[in-house]
Structure 1
Amino acid sequence: MRILVIEDEKGIAEAIQAILENHRYEVDIVFDGESGLDYILTGLYDLVLLDIMLPKLDGVSVLKRVRQMGIEVPIIFLTAKSQLEDRVSGLDLGADDYMTKPFEAEELLARIRLRTRQSSITQVNHLKFGNLILNLDTRALSVLEHEVKLSNKEFLLMETFLRNPQKIIPKNQLILKVWGPLDDSEYNQLEVFISFLRKKLRFLKADVAIKTTKGVGYSLECSVKEGDS
């Protein structure tokens, strides 16, 4: 299981990372809201620990944007604020839980187990846009009776597009999703895999296609004509 920690206090972030990694979780940490939002949008994470008081973009704004985009990853707020109205406000905005710092490691671990267990119960095993369906269990892409299997990288790309239909996804976000946070120079490979996916969409006779926005990124659109892709 992979967890993202968005916390501007480096000591706290690293302490949380150490606790979680000691319990065999994979953990990434970032120190500001803008970077945190970019990481969430990759779709790599099973749960997010989100501080409210963050530089560049505060935690409440991050949460609002994530929920507005239809991303339902479990999010636990971490904050020094203990007032009832702050806790209620965070939960009303779509947070799954709320922890006041400082907190005990065992309580944090228990809440993570609870939220991820609840998430797995309600998880949908497919994504759909237009007549295109992606099976998250088998990694098969299908239209009616026609089906193709996707490679790991193709699957990660298509999953990202289907979770964010009709939204331009920057190239760097797609690279982060497929090649990971440490690789930022895979633009040529990205174009190759986009080409692979386009061929498979044409083979399936999908009524959606991947559109290029020059200098920005790609988006999955309905009824895109060949000349637009």
Structure 2
Amino acid sequence: MNVLVVDDNEIVADSLAFLLECYGHRAVVAYDGETALTLLRTGAFELTFLDEHLPGIKGSAVALSLKESPVHPGPFVVSMTGDADSQEGVVRLFDVCLQKPFSSEALMQVIENARRGSDARCLLAA
């Protein structure tokens, strides 16, 4: 699965990308919302992990941009934040919201949900 990891904390982003690659996925990292939007416009990602508190453009603004100008096929979008209060009002923009720190089990469940969502989108398009 092609995955985009977006977090301004380089250690978090790089570590999550490394873990995803260990599970056999192709991971690309962005450290800000502008770069994430540029990469997402290519349509090359099936799954995107977005930190909410990014410099410049917040993760929810990136997700909103994807909703307003969809990329086909659109990625399964996961919010990840250490601030539970920041999720109020933006939950509808994401397929899943993960509270940091999250377990590897939670990560695997998100990947499985993304696979199912991707399969459903393929079936609908057929």
Give 1:102's aligned residue: 101
Contact 1:90 1:98 in 2 (8 A): no
| Cα offsets for 1:70-116 (capped at 9, x unmatched) | 23321000111113xx4342222x20000011111221121121122
- Tell me by how many angstroms 1:15 deviates: 1.0
The structure number with the bigger radius of gyration is 1
What residue number does 1:136 align with? none
1:77 touches 1:99 (CA, 8 Å); kept in 2?
yes
The residue number in structure 1 matching 2:84 is 82
Aligned partners of 1:75 and 1:97 also within 8 Å: yes
Please list the CA deviations of residues 121-149 of structure 1 after superposition, one character each: whole Å capped at 9, or x if unmatched. 133446xxxxxxxxxxxxxxxxxxxxxxx
**What is the match of residue 38 of structure 1?**
38
Q: Structure with the greater relative contact order (CA < 8 A, sep ≥ 6): 1 or 2? A: 2
1:19 aligns with 2:25: no
TM norm structure 2: 0.90
Asked if 1:51 corresponds to 2:47, the answer is no
Provide the alpha-carbon RMSD of the alignment: 1.5
CA contact (8 A) 2:76 2:117 kept: no
Q: Any idea what SS the aligned residue of 2:78 has? A: strand
1:90-129 matches, within 5 Å, as 90-92=90-92, 94-123=93-122, 124-125=124-125
Q: Percent identity?
A: 24
Matches within 5 A, 1:53-202: 53-71=53-71, 72-83=74-85, 86-92=86-92, 94-123=93-122, 124-125=124-125
**Aligned partner letter, 2:22:** N
- Structure 1 stretches of 4+ with a deviation exceeding 6 A read none
In the aligned structure 2, how far is the partner of 1:110 from the partner of 1:57? Answer: 27
Residues in 2 aligned to 1:70 and 1:36: alpha-carbon distance in whole angstroms = 14
- Measured after TM superposition, the shift of residue 31 of structure 1 is 0.2
The residue identity in structure 1 corresponding to 2:8 is: D
TM-score (norm 1): 0.51
Structure 1 unaligned residues grouped into runs of 5+ = 127-229
AA partner of residue 20 (structure 2): L
Q: Deviations over 1:133-166 (max 9, x none)?
A: xxxxxxxxxxxxxxxxxxxxxxxxxxxxxxxxxx
Q: Secondary structure at the match of 2:18?
A: helix
